[in-house]
Amino acid sequence: MRNQLKRLASAIGTHGFLIIFVLISLFPVYLMFVTSLKSQAELIQNVFALPHDAKWDNYPLIVIQRGYYRAVINSLLFAGSVTIITIALSLLAAYAFAVFDFVGRQLLFVLVLVGLMVSEVSILIPVYQLLKSANLLNTFVGLVLPQIALGLSFGIFLMTTFFREVPKDLVDAARLDGCTDLQLLMKVMIPVGLPAISALAVIEFLWTWNSFFLPLVIATKQELMPLAVSIIDFMGRFTFNYELVATTCVIMFVPILILYILTQRSFRRGVTMGAVK
């Protein structure tokens, strides 16, 4: 009896603690959604409450009249191309690291790992100068090119770890069946590695979608800004128009939220694969 009570109390305590963190995790997201639907007066009156009279027209106002669809498209193109190119380059390199034994393998792998740690802060100035001298500042290409480099090492590392776990016999069987290297990659490694590839794709997309530092410097023209930069640009002009800023935030977050709900497993696998392995 006492034991059972104790167990019950400890379960309640634990779940209570966990629920506090559920609230902490969700509240800012909730706040963002409700703020986008409230008037200024209502916001100041009670920040917690749901809106009385939801101002849905903020959305068409922002997306169409203020031209926010541009930023959405920019972000989709930006994150999409970065993700695709990163994955293509990662797959090629990871295949080489995982399948071949060649002179310089260790050294090159260390070089790749170094790239894993380097941040945009370390490369900002030369990258800016490079883009400037190539006339790529404020161009889509200039936005995409350096961004790929930031996630490339992670992609190579993740895919190498995964490809190494493909049984050696499977690779040998495919080579005996007549695969060239490219066929082995395309017809065996990639299909077998699909779960890892989708995890990588999701993570890479998220990072790029949310990235701010390089786009802030490279895309200063409004037509080119992805959402992250665009929101800050917008906020600079309408700081106190909270519901409009919140609306832009929701617009930026909803695609990620949908992606997250649809691909949770891939998301979590991508994050933990790099760390625990």
Partner 1 sequence: MIDARGRLGPYLFLAPAILYLGIWIYYPIAKNFYLSFLGSDSTRTGDYYFVGLENYRKLLSDDLFHRALLHNLAWVGLSIVIPVVIGLVLAVLLVGRRGRLFYAAVFFLPVTVAPIMAAIVWGWIYNPTFGALNQLLDIIGLSGLSQPWLGDTGTALVAVNMIGSWGYYGFCALIFLAGLQSIDPEIYEAARIDGANSFQSFWSITLPLLRPTLMFVIVYTIIGSMKFFDIIYVATKGGPDNSTQIVAVYMFDLFIRQGEVTYAAAMSMVLTAIILLMSLVVIRNVMRRA
Partner 2 sequence: MKQAAESVSIRGVEKSFGRTKVLKGVDLAIEREEFVILLGPSGCGKTTLLRIVAGLERAEAGEIWISDRRVDPLEPKERNVAMVFQSYALYPHMNVFNNQSFSLRLRHTPKDEIRARVHQAAKTLGLEQLLERYPRELSGGQRQRVSMGRAIVRSPKVFLFDEPLSNLDAQLRVHMRGEIKELHHHLNTTSIYVTHDQVEAMTMGDRIVVMNGGIIEQIGSPLEVFDKPKNRFVAGFVGSPAMNFIDGELATNGSRLVLRVPGQAPVPLGEAGTRRTSGPATIGIRPHHLRIVGDGPLRGTVKDVQPTGVETILLCRWADSEILIQTTDRVLVSAGEDINVSADPADIHLFDSETGERLDA
Of 213-272, binders to partner 1 (CB under 8 A) are 213, 217, 228, 231-232, 235, 242, 245-246, 249, 252-253, 256-257, 260, 264, 267-268, 271-272
Of 155-214, binders to partner 2 (CB under 8 A) are 167, 169-170, 172-180, 183, 187-188, 191-192, 194
**Binding of residue 236 to partner 2 (CB under 8 A):** no
Half-sphere exposure of 40 (CA within 13 A, CB side): 7
Q: Which stretch binds partner 1 (CB under 8 A): 51-59, 65-73, 119-127, 191-199?
A: 119-127
The angle subtended at Cα 120 by Cα 118 and Cα 125, nearest 5°, is 115
Question: What tokens appear for 188 in the block?
Answer: 């065996």
Residue 76 partner contact from partner 2, partner 1, none using kind-dependent CB cut-offs of 5 to 8 Å: none
Q: Please report, as a single letter, which amino acid is at residue 86.
A: T
Minimum Å distance from CB 136 to partner 1? 12
Half-sphere exposure of 15 (CA within 13 A, CB side): 5
Instruction: Select the residue interacting with partner 1 from 7, 122, 221, 254 (CB under 8 A).
Output: 122
Report yes or no: 213 and 124 within 8 Å, Cβ to Cβ. Answer: yes
238 vs 227: CA distance, rounded Å: 16
**Binding of residue 129 to partner 1 (CB under 8 A):** yes
Instruction: Select the residue interacting with partner 1 from 12, 27, 52, 173 (CB under 8 A).
Output: 27
Residue 35 partner contact from partner 1, partner 2, none using kind-dependent CB cut-offs of 5 to 8 Å: partner 1
Q: Which residues contact 6 (CB under 8 A, 6 or more apart)?
A: none
Residue 173 partner contact from partner 2, partner 1, none using kind-dependent CB cut-offs of 5 to 8 Å: partner 2
The angle subtended at Cα 180 by Cα 178 and Cα 183, nearest 5°, is 100
Of 123-142, binders to partner 2 (CB under 8 A) are none
165 vs 102: CA distance, rounded Å: 19
Residue 39 partner contact from partner 2, partner 1, none using kind-dependent CB cut-offs of 5 to 8 Å: none
The CA distances from residue 50 to 32, 217, 249, in Å, are 11, 37, 18
**Binding of residue 28 to partner 2 (CB under 8 A):** no
122 vs 126: CA distance, rounded Å: 9
Of 47-86, binders to partner 2 (CB under 8 A) are none
What is the binding site for partner 2 (CB under 8 A)? 167, 169-170, 172-180, 183, 187-188, 191-192, 194
